[in-house]
Structure 1
Amino acid sequence: MDMKIELLAVPVSDIDRAKDFYTRIGFSADHDHRVDENIRFVQLTPPGSACSIVLDYNFTEMKPGSLQGIQCVVADADAALADLRAKGVQASDVDEQQWGRFVYFSDPDGNGWALQQLPAYS
């Protein structure tokens, strides 16, 4: 039986600020639906990803900024870093590891992301 991760909740304190941040770095705004005065469903998808995120404002017990280690794979870590910095995002220098090249950054609430360029295996 296949099991595919389709949606990850990212806990935020301000949906509008988070939506602005994620769309600024290239995420697609797929849905923005207000269910009622207390619930707003905002789903965004990273470019090329089959998995989306939902901005979690009181959907789960997670505190804003508590999600760490979300990882996306990119073709070129240097280009990803340059793109993030051009968009005003504070990101780490490229971290060279045997298992890939990584760029780390956080959203405005402190949720931590890693972009990994996979190593070239021969």
Structure 2
Amino acid sequence: MDWKLELVAVPVTDVDRAKAFYTEQVGFVEDHDHRISDEVRFVQLTPRGSACSIAIGTGLSTQEPGTAQGLQVVIDDADAARKELLERGVEVSEVQEFPWGRFVFFSDPDGNGWALQQMLPQQ
């Protein structure tokens, strides 16, 4: 039996600001934006090519905005990903080299922390 992680909640203070950041600046795809009730809004966004999405909204989580850390996306090229994010106005780190990959890091407007990892060929 497969166990597939498909949705991760990311707590934010302003849903519209976060949605714009993730879609317009980071390049995630908007899958859903539904207002379930006056208290609940569900927005699902997916990184291009990913089987796992994030959920932002209201009434979805008791987590404090900015507490999601270590969210990681695997990419093909750290330099190209960094360049794309910079061109879209995202503050992103320099490419950092580690024995297990090449990384760039950024945070959303609430401080939720992301890592983009370029896998290295096996030695």
TM-score, length-normalised on structure 2?
0.96
Per the alignment, in what secondary structure is the counterpart of residue 20 of structure 2? helix
Partner of 2:70: 69
How many residues are aligned here? 122
Correspondence 1:59 to 2:60: yes
Q: Which letter does structure 2 place at the counterpart of 1:108?
A: P
Partner of 1:4: 4
Partner of 1:16: 16
CA distance in 1, matches of 2:11, 2:57: 4
After TM superposition, the structure 1 = structure 2 runs for residues 103-114 of structure 1, keeping only pairs within 5 Å, are 103-114=104-115
Question: Structure 1 unaligned runs (5+)?
Answer: none
Partner of 2:34: 33
Question: Structure 2 unaligned runs (5+)?
Answer: none
Amino-acid identity (%): 59
Which ranges of 4 or more aligned residues in structure 1 deviate by more than 2 Å? none
CA distance in 1, matches of 2:72, 2:98: 15
Shift of 1:121: 1.9
RMSD over aligned Cα, in angstroms? 0.9
Shift of 1:56: 4.2
TM-score, length-normalised on structure 1?
0.97
Per the alignment, in what secondary structure is the counterpart of residue 23 of structure 1? helix
Shift of 1:57: 2.9
Gap change, CA 1:43 and 1:8, over 3 Å in 2: same
Q: Is the 8 A contact 2:39 2:58 kept in 1?
A: no
What are the Cα deviations for residues 11-50 of structure 1, in whole angstroms up to 9, with x where unaligned? 0000000000000121010000001111111000000000
Per the alignment, in what secondary structure is the counterpart of residue 30 of structure 1? strand
